[in-house]
Amino acid sequence: MRGLTYKRITGDIFGGVTASIIALPLALAFGVASGVGAQAGLYGAIVLGFVAALAGGTKVQISGPTGPMTIVAASTLVLFHGDVSVLMAAILLTGIFQIVLGLLKVGKFVKFVPYPVISGFMSGIGIIIILLQINPLFGIEGVTSPLDAVTSLVNIKAMFQADALYTSIIALLIVFFTPKKIARIIPTPLLALVIVTVFSQLAGLQLATIGTIPSGLPEICWPAFTRSQLTVIITAAMSLAVLGAIDSLLTSLVADSLTKTEHNSNRELIGQGLGNALTAFVGGIPGAGATMRTVVNVKSGGTTRLSGVLHALILLGVLLGLGKYAAIVPMAVLAAILIKVGLDIVDYRFIKIIRKAPKSDLAIMFTVLFLTVFVDLIVAVGVGVLLASVLLTIRLTKQTNSSVDDFEVSIKEVDGCERLNDEKSFLIRVVNIDGPFFFGSTSRLVGQVGAMLGTKVVIFNCLKVPFIDLSAFFALCEIILKLKENDILPFIVVNDEIKAKLIRLEISSILREKHIYTSFNLAVEHATDHVCENKS
């Protein structure tokens, strides 16, 4: 294979091994958090990790269960009253939707999601993960919604388990305070998992554990649902598909910045979709490109798809032979690991500049964060994008200026107007539009129609207009018709691109093409000729 060297192979091996070490405890934890079971996290990590590594558009990306996808999957399972087969139907449809998104080439649009939306969303996800793990951290049965987690905080003092608390404290100390020199060699999630599990067994602590994980290959799981459930399944699948697409493509952008390469967004969506669709047939939970695991892979030397494939194969080996050891892992340890993950997801870069950030961006970020935690993840992103669009529209509208001016032309300078010796000059009204001409700025221009009356020619000078949308086009057409009703001839001055667009939109049905100019001076010259002819 061209470009395949010993250095690359060894880098990929080390990257894949390191990524799998981090992925193992996270896959188990996410599987438990989803409500399907620890094995579901492993199934999802293996199938999605393998397929996306081969078929995806980001060579170094490590895919598997992630916090956002797990939270939505858990909420969906609650919605389906714990029916795993219906959840698998939603996951299968999730993969199909993602493949369709890739085929429709919508992957490139992720770069247009405003940063405050991304920041609020990711911080909200981090807060959700933390809230949902507080109860297990204290040995109390977990809850399924952030609001329930907040309300249950008052019961912690009366219900906590001492053994679970001791275990959690040790695990938290390991994941947060392990020296960096050691953490570079052994990832802290794995270190906490092994040390605390061994300690709890030797000390004979009474703790809730993951429980039995089936060994061997998973059985084929056929997604099933009833006709009455179809609407809910489609809604859940669309939420998972969009969330997974955003999660994966944002991770791809991070990978690009680390490797100085460029990913294929649409291929990445197809690879993720294919992986999630196949995951449904083995009873795994859905996933996406995982930022932390991808960064670790790159930092450990991973440069090709081999690292992602190897990561999945190592997890498969765990499933085939080491599942009995994973069964004794305390739930409190997984809770501590997930709390660290939740804190890592919070966007501290935005928090650092929170006092200096524009108020509009802060409003978007906190709105998205609140909706993410207490309402719905996809609703949060949708509202955030909509709010950002409205605020952007207001900003652009303020930057668009329009004025109506009288353009004075001396009669002596106009050939053929000798008969007008009783007039020294005449006026041509000029409407100067400076800035984007779109739906947000049309009302200001429409309100100036009255100032355009009382002359023979009105020239719309749009040379400083960078673009014109359909709303502005129709508003312009209405003004032109109004002027013509008052025997006023309208001229338009635009650049070549906008002129071609106006002609394509068939403005010629109300305005002759020869009255659309690309030169202001030429438009004035023709306007003066027209006025002179009428007066003579």
pLDDT score, position 344:
78
Other beta carbons less than 10 A from residue 295's beta carbon: 18
pLDDT score, position 536:
42
Q: Rounded mean pLDDT of the chain?
A: 82
Whole-angstrom Cα distance, residue 289 to residue 281? 20
Whole-prediction pTM: 0.67
Mean per-residue pLDDT for 274-281? 95
Other beta carbons less than 10 A from residue 181's beta carbon: 7
Residue 56 has pLDDT above 70, yes or no: yes
φ/ψ region of 434 (left if φ > 0, alpha if ψ in -120 to 50, else beta) reads: beta
Whole-angstrom Cα distance, residue 439 to residue 469? 7
Mean pLDDT lowest for which of 13-22, 238-247, 379-388, 503-512?
Answer: 13-22
Other beta carbons less than 10 A from residue 141's beta carbon: 10
Whole-angstrom Cα distance, residue 194 to residue 191? 5
Query: What do you get for the CA distance between the two ends of the chain, in Å?
Result: 83
Other beta carbons less than 10 A from residue 321's beta carbon: 11
Residue 118 has pLDDT above 80, yes or no: no
Q: Give percent above pLDDT 70 in the chain.
A: 88
Query: Can you say how many angstroms the Cα of residue 381 is from the centroid of all Cα atoms in its chain?
Result: 7
pLDDT score, position 296:
74
The better pLDDT of the pair 228, 406 is held by: 228
Whole-angstrom Cα distance, residue 357 to residue 359? 6
Whole-angstrom Cα distance, residue 126 to residue 87? 24
Mean per-residue pLDDT for 75-84? 86
Q: Are strands 489-493 and 457-464 parallel, antiparallel or unpaired?
A: parallel
CA distances from 358 to 115, 245, 367, 398 (A): 12, 28, 14, 16
DSSP 383-432: HHHHHHHHHHHHHHHHH-EEEEEEEEEEGGGSTT-GGGTT-SEEEEEEEE
Reading the block at residue 253, the tokens are 């952008």
Mean per-residue pLDDT for 427-444? 76
Reading the block at residue 524, the tokens are 């004035």
pLDDT score, position 202:
87
pLDDT score, position 402:
61
pLDDT score, position 1:
43
Mean pLDDT lowest for which of 33-42, 84-93, 131-140, 337-346?
Answer: 337-346
Q: Give percent above pLDDT 90 in the chain.
A: 17
Name the 3-class secondary structure at 463.
strand
Domain boundaries, the chain: 6-391, 400-535
pLDDT score, position 534:
60
Residue 270 has pLDDT above 70, yes or no: yes
Residue 401 has pLDDT above 70, yes or no: no
In the β-sheet with 401-410, what is the strand arrangement from edge to edge? 401-410, 425-434, 457-464, 489-493, 516-517
CA distances from 517 to 323, 325, 521, 525 (A): 76, 79, 9, 11
Q: Which of 6-10, 264-268, 331-335 has the highest mean pLDDT?
A: 264-268
Residue 253, judged by CB atoms within 10 A of its CB (0-12, 13-18, 19+), counts as middle
The model's confidence at residue 420, banded by pLDDT at 50, 70 and 90, is very low
User: Could you tell me if 234 and 213 are in contact, meaning their C-beta atoms sit under 8 angstroms apart?
Assistant: no
pLDDT score, position 67:
79
Whole-angstrom Cα distance, residue 307 to residue 321? 21
- Rounded to 5 degrees, what are φ and ψ at 310? -65, -40
pLDDT score, position 480:
87
Q: Which of 146-150, 287-291, 343-347 has the highest mean pLDDT?
A: 287-291
pLDDT of 149-183, one tens digit each?
A: 888 888 887 778 888 888 889 999 998 898 888 87
Residue 95, judged by CB atoms within 10 A of its CB (0-12, 13-18, 19+), counts as buried
pLDDT score, position 311:
92
CA distances from 258 to 60, 251, 294, 300, 464 (A): 10, 11, 10, 12, 40
Per CATH, domain 400-535 is 3.40.50.2300: no
CA distances from 183 to 177, 178, 321 (A): 10, 6, 26
Token pair 């449809």 in the structure block, residue: 93
- Enumerate residues 6+ apart whose C-beta is below 8 A from 173: none
E-strand ranges in 26-168 read 63-64
